[in-house]
Structure 1
Amino acid sequence: MPARPLRPCAAPGCGALVVTGRCALHRVADRRAQDVVRGSTTERGYDWAWRKLRARYLDANPLCECDECKAGKLKVTVAQVVDHRIAIEDRPDLRLEWSNLRSMSKAHHDAHTARTRGWGRAHRA
C-alpha cells in the first residue's frame, strides 16, 4: 500500500509536513495547554484517599469487571485501572463510594473511555 502524501501541519502558520494532524512540536504545545486547563490529579479528585481506596479495590477485585468481560464476550484479564461507573464530573459525591467503582484492564478502560467520552473530545468543565 503506498504511503499517504505529506500535508502541512494543522497549526496555523506552521509549514512542517506531516502524515496527519499536527507536527510533534504543536502536539507537545497542545498537550501542555490542555494539562494547564485540566488541572492536577489532586485537583481532579485523585488525592491520597482515592489512591488508598484504589489500591484496596484492586486487591479485592483483581480481574477486569467491564461489561464485555462479565458477559463472556472478551477474555477476562487482570485489572490495572479502577473506573468510576458514574464519572466524578457528574457525581463528585460518589468519588469514594465502593459501589461506584469497577476494576478494568487498561485496554478495556481505554476502549470504554473512547466509546463513552470519545477521543479528542473536550473534557467537560
Structure 2
Amino acid sequence: MLKRSALLLSMVWVLVLTACGGSGNTASSNTNKVTDSGIEAETELVISATNYKFDQEEYHLKKGVPVKIIFENESGNHGILVPELNLQLSSKESSAVIVPEEAGTFEMSCSIMCGSGHSGMIAKVIVE
C-alpha cells in the first residue's frame, strides 16, 4: 500500500514539474494585422511569458484603438487570460486583434496550470 502511494505521488510530482518544462513555442509566423473579422490593428503588443512570470507587470492599451496582441511563450507551458477583454491566447492560438471598449484595470493571469508558481503569475492590463 505504501509503495503504491509513493509511486502515485511520484507520478503526480513528475507531471507538475514537466508542466512548466514544455517547448519554448513562440508566436506564429502570421504577422498580418487584419483578423478574420476584418479589423485592422493600429498597434501591436507583445506579451512574453517565462516560468511563473510575464515580461512586464503592467501593459497599457488605448480605449477604442484596435491592437494586435501577440503571445510569446519563452519557457514552460503558459497562456494568457483576460476575461473582461475577451482575450485568451496560448501557444496554439498566439495572436488576436482586440478593440478595448472600456477603460479600466484588468487582471491578466496564466490560463494553463504551469506548476507551483501558477497562482502568482498575474499582470495588469490598463486601458486608458
TM-score clears 0.5: no
**TM-score, with length taken from structure 1:** 0.27
Task: Name the one with the larger helix percent.
Answer: 1
**TM-score, with length taken from structure 2:** 0.27
